């Protein structure tokens, strides 16, 4: 049987020009899942040319008609939700409950973005001159380069590509090498939904061979990237020199603040889910708890007991609560930080690989909790992207907010309290793009903007009512029906 996994360029499924391939494996079992094109700059060039040609006609398709294709894509994704969720669990490891949620975000975004096809609101405003009309309108920019990570391999492409397409742009899509199959499914959905050839192009391959050429290609006007802060800032520097629009969603070091009046049972539930859901491999994961000194020991004990009891395993097993890390490199990173953390706090749970039985075939690490950690400790400051939690004592809400805001990241924060006054104080003072009250740091909904401050982002937001901002330009339009020359500012004095 021939390899079904190919690049999608100009409406055709094609191998890499070089003929090279790479393999995709299951992080829970080591099973080989498929062989994908290891593409290069020449494949990127083909994809950009296809997108550039398609843009000429796609931008002229009425936006409500573009939206109809997104609606159809949403219906297809909905019908295949379970199939897609199971494929995602095999590919990146998180539990079926979580991959179903990931696919559901794709459904939600399809409907939300499609709704913009009948809005795409501009603004009309009175002119300062008589018999003159003034208005502004959103217009597409051109070809979008979308570079996405492996932890949400269906949701994040949806956040980027669906708004870009409904606005009238075309796209070149580079998925993460650890989750190529979900990108293949994504492109197939849009092919089936009737997206014209060349509007969406999919190119598999590495960051150096595909990602860098996308950033550098003069035919791409917009770069939308989600990944590490280090890579994102490098992209920003290169694309900025080329005058490109850049939207970045990068790292996080998210804190849950627990005050002394909090419901500790509720806080424990939320912390365990936020810290160890997706095996800690979320940009919104809770990786530090800033807890009032009067309840620190009680909360630390509760969280450690729950962490120890979490069941590790293949995400396809309904009993599994924590799946594997995505690859061996992530396990090694977690091991390095745990070694550092042993000198920075009290290890109360985890701290080792899980290798017994079937777990030995995959990339498993036990959920790990450090208590009584200094606020400036490395495990409390640096992004780990794994199942490691640091608990830090604080004396007040004000101290907790100060520690939270001192982070180089600013994506998500949360507060547990029964005091409405302190809740509103925190909502005002926490300098993160997302704030939760009496909830963990994860759980964003698609109809609100998603993104962060400082080292987490560069000012753009994904999803919500801001979804079109990275992918559209504003055009101001004046219509003078006075019949004679009117010089604004000169004649209006």
Torsion (CA) 336, 337, 340, 342 in degrees, nearest 10:
-110
Question: pLDDT by residue (tens digit) across 456-477?
Answer: 999 999 999 999 999 999 999 9
Catalytic residue among 283, 286, 321, 383: 283
Look over the chain and give the mean of its residue pLDDT values, rounded to a whole number. 97
Q: Do domains 7-250+457-476 and 254-437 have the same CATH topology?
A: no
CATH class of 7-250+457-476: alpha beta
| Average pLDDT for 174-193 | 98
Question: pLDDT by residue (tens digit) across 313-366?
Answer: 999 999 999 999 999 999 999 999 999 999 999 999 999 999 999 999 999 999
Terminal Cα-to-Cα distance of the chain (whole angstroms): 77
d(CA 220, CA 172): 8
Identify the residue whose tokens are 């391999």.
153
105 is a catalytic site residue: no
Return the CATH number of the domain spanning residue range 254-437: 3.40.309.10
pLDDT value of position 2? 63
pLDDT value of position 491? 83
| Average pLDDT for 96-105 | 98
| Residue 444 and residue 105 in contact, taking contact as beta carbons nearer than 8 Å | no
pLDDT > 90: what percent of the chain? 98
d(CA 57, CA 44): 21
Q: What is the CA radius of gyration of the chain?
A: 24
Torsion (CA) 211, 217, 223, 227 in degrees, nearest 10:
20
pLDDT value of position 1? 44
283 is a catalytic site residue: yes
Judging by DSSP bridges, how do beta strands 472-480 and 132-140 pair with one another? antiparallel
Count the alpha carbons within 13 Å of 268 in the hemisphere toward its beta carbon: 16
Q: Is residue 53 predicted with pLDDT exceeding 50? A: yes
| Average pLDDT for 151-174 | 98
Judging by DSSP bridges, how do beta strands 388-394 and 286-292 pair with one another? parallel
d(CA 179, CA 161): 17
Distances (CA, A) of 157 to 20, 116, 390: 25, 17, 31
Instruction: Spell out the domain ranges in the chain.
Output: 7-250+457-476, 254-437
pLDDT value of position 3? 75
| Average pLDDT for 379-404 | 98
Identify the residue whose tokens are 């708890």.
289
Collect all residues with Cβ–Cβ distance below 8 Å to 106 and sequence separation of at least 6: 74, 77, 84, 154, 155, 157, 158, 186
| Average pLDDT for 93-115 | 98
| Average pLDDT for 47-73 | 98
d(CA 439, CA 118): 34
pLDDT value of position 89? 98
| Average pLDDT for 166-190 | 98
Catalytic residue among 98, 181, 249, 321: 249
φ/ψ bin of 489: left (φ > 0), alpha (ψ from -120 to 50), beta (otherwise): left
Identify the residue whose tokens are 């975004």.
109
d(CA 458, CA 157): 19
Confidence of residue 490 (pLDDT cuts 50, 70, 90): confident
Identify the residue whose tokens are 């690049």.
7
């Amino acid at each position: 049987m021939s390899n079904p996994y190919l690049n999608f360029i100009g409406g055709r499924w094609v191998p890499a020009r070089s003929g090279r391939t790479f393999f995709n494996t299951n992080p829970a079992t080591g099973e080989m899942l498929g062989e994908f094109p290891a593409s290069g700059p020449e494949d990127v060039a083909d994809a950009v040319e296809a997108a550039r040609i398609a843009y000429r006609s796609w931008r002229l398709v009425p936006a409500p008609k573009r939206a109809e294709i997104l609606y159809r894509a949403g219906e297809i994704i909905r019908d295949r939700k379970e199939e897609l969720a199971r494929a995602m669990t095999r590919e990146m490891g998180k539990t079926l409950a979580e991959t179903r949620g990931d696919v559901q975000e794709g459904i939600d975004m399809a409907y939300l973005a499609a709704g913009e096809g009948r809005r795409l609101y501009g603004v009309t405003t009175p002119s300062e001159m008589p018999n003159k009309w003034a208005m502004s309108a959103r217009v597409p920019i051109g070809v979008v380069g979308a570079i996405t990570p492996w932890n949400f391999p269906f949701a994040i492409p949806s956040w980027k590509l669906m708004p870009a397409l409904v606005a009238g742009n075309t796209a070149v899509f580079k998925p993460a090498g650890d989750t190529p199959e979900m990108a293949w499914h994504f492109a197939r959905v849009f092919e089936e939904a009737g997206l014209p050839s060349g509007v969406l192009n999919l190119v598999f391959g590495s960051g150096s061979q595909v990602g860098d050429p996308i950033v550098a290609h003069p035919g791409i006007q917009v770069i939308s990237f989600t990944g590490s802060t280090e890579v994102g800032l490098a992209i920003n520097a290169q694309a900025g020199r080329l005058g490109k629009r850049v939207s970045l969603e990068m790292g996080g070091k998210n804190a849950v603040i627990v005050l002394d009046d909090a419901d500790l049972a509720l806080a424990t539930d939320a912390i365990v889910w936020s810290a160890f859901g997706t095996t800690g491999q979320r940009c919104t994961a809770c990786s530090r708890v800033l807890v009032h000194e009067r309840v620190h020991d009680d909360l630390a004990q509760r969280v450690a007991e729950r962490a120890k009891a979490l069941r590790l395993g293949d995400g396809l097993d309904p009993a599994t609560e924590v799946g594997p890390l995505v690859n061996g490199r992530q396990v090694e990173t977690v091991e390095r930080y745990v070694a550092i953390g042993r000198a920075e706090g009290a290890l109360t749970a985890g701290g080792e690989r899980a290798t017994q039985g079937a777990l030995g075939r995959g990339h498993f690490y036990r959920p790990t909790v450090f208590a009584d950690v200094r606020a400036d400790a490395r495990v409390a400051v640096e992004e780990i992207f794994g199942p490691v939690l640091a608990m830090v004592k604080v004396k007040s809400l004000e101290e907790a907010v100060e520690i939270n805001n001192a982070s180089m990241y600013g994506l998500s924060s949360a507060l547990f309290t029964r005091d409405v006054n302190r809740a509103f104080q925190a909502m005002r003072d926490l300098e993160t793009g997302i704030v939760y009250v009496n909830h963990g740091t994860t759980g964003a909904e698609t109809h609100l903007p998603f993104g962060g401050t400082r080292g987490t982002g560069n000012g753009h937001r994904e999803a919500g009512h801001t979804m079109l901002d990275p992918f559209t330009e504003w055009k101001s339009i004046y219509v003078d029906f006075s019949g004679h020359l009117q010089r604004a500012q000169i004649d209006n004095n």
